[in-house]
Structure 1
Amino acid sequence: MNKIKVLFLCSRNSARSQMAEAFLRKYGGDEFEPYSAGLEASEIHPLTIKVMEEKGISMDGLCSKSLDIYLNDRFGFLITVCSKAEKECPFFPGVSIRLHWPFDDPAAAQGSEEERLESFRKVRDQIEKKVIDFVENTDKYSNIKDNFRM
């Protein structure tokens, strides 16, 4: 069975898109094949790794990736998870459905480490909820679902 390929896109692929990819791997079962990328790849933020480990999700072996490596690929969904990615990537070839899930950038949080951790946890929990909702409600696209299996 072909899986539905999903690309999560944000500005640096250091936090939000990485979390979304990891949660879709956890909750998507055999239905989805998740990927993530950034407009400008950087390193995965250490607090991303920490808050995902709190949920029992290891980020070992993952790295930040640039959008460029996926330009010739086809995806059922492109989901931007930040306003910068939504604005700066107005067109992406090979995408059936494009969605925008705007989340605050936890990497921009200021304050003590505990305050920054709380920002990462808040965004992590919002992303987890959104991914679960996406998985449970993908049937609303059922009229074209077979067309975006890759």
Structure 2
Amino acid sequence: MMNSKLKEYIQKLESGFDSIPDARKENLKKLSDYVKAKTENNQVAKLNFICTHNSRRSHLAQIWTAVAAHHFGIENIETYSGGTEATAFNPRAVAAIERAGFKVGNPGGDNPRYRVTFSEDVEPLICFSKKFDDNVNPDTSFAAVMTCSDADENCPFVPGTEFRISVTYRDPKESDGTDKEKETYDERCVQIAAEMFYMMSNA
């Protein structure tokens, strides 16, 4: 069972689908079609969200897609994330999901393995920065979802991918250290959440 704060957040997401530009909807539906084709054939749809540092956008997409799959009752979905290099799940992005209603456990360290909980009925997601080919990520028969243009351009080949799509987002890092920091991270969190929910609603 999800907590009331997260439920309210999700209700607002679904009412905001009309604000997603048509061009992005068309692109997201391509990913929906991939997921649908896999699940209708009783196969697991493995989605690996990739950005440069695996610190912000790719984690947000991984987390919200897992929540959306649970929300819509879509089984055989596994979500992952990775980068072209590893750093850490940025604390500002972690704070944004906490404000959205997630419970986050932080064990500390340079690259913490955060425990992200969105429902009492689902095991927490273990989120930490890693390369896209880390051994915790799939190495075959998965979709590579490129969430930043830099990673998309600098990583033209992702081994093991059977489907690749570019669903890029502006980096909230640009607001770090400014008075717009919290607002920017919350805006990006909402945008990614809404689009992943829209995507999964069509799967």
Which consecutive residues of structure 1, in runs of 5 or more, have no partner in the other structure? 139-150
Shift of 1:98: 0.9
Q: How many residues align?
A: 137
Match of 1:107 among 168, 173, 188: 173
Matched, 1:53 2:119: no
Q: Name the SS for the 1:68 alignment partner.
A: coil
Match of 2:53 in 1: 12
**Is 92-101 or 11-20 further displaced after alignment?**
92-101
Instruction: Provide Cα deviations, 1:47-98, integer angstroms capped at 9, x if missing partner.
Output: 1111101112234332111123158712431100000111011111222221
CA distance in 2, matches of 1:58, 1:108: 26
Q: Name the SS for the 1:74 alignment partner.
A: coil
State the 4+ residue runs in structure 1 displaced beyond 6 angstroms. Answer: none
Instruction: Provide Cα deviations, 1:22-66, integer angstroms capped at 9, x if missing partner.
Output: 101111132310000011111111111111011122343321111
What value does the CA root-mean-square deviation take over the aligned residues? 1.9
The normalised TM-score by structure 2 is 0.62
The normalised TM-score by structure 1 is 0.82
CA distance in 2, matches of 1:50, 1:23: 15
Matched, 1:116 2:181: yes
Match of 1:98 in 2: 164
Task: Give the greater-gyration-radius structure (CA).
Answer: 2
Assess if the C-alpha contact under 8 Å between 2:82 and 2:130 holds in 1. yes
Assess if the C-alpha contact under 8 Å between 1:8 and 1:35 holds in 2. yes
Which consecutive residues of structure 2, in runs of 5 or more, have no partner in the other structure? 1-41, 105-113, 116-126
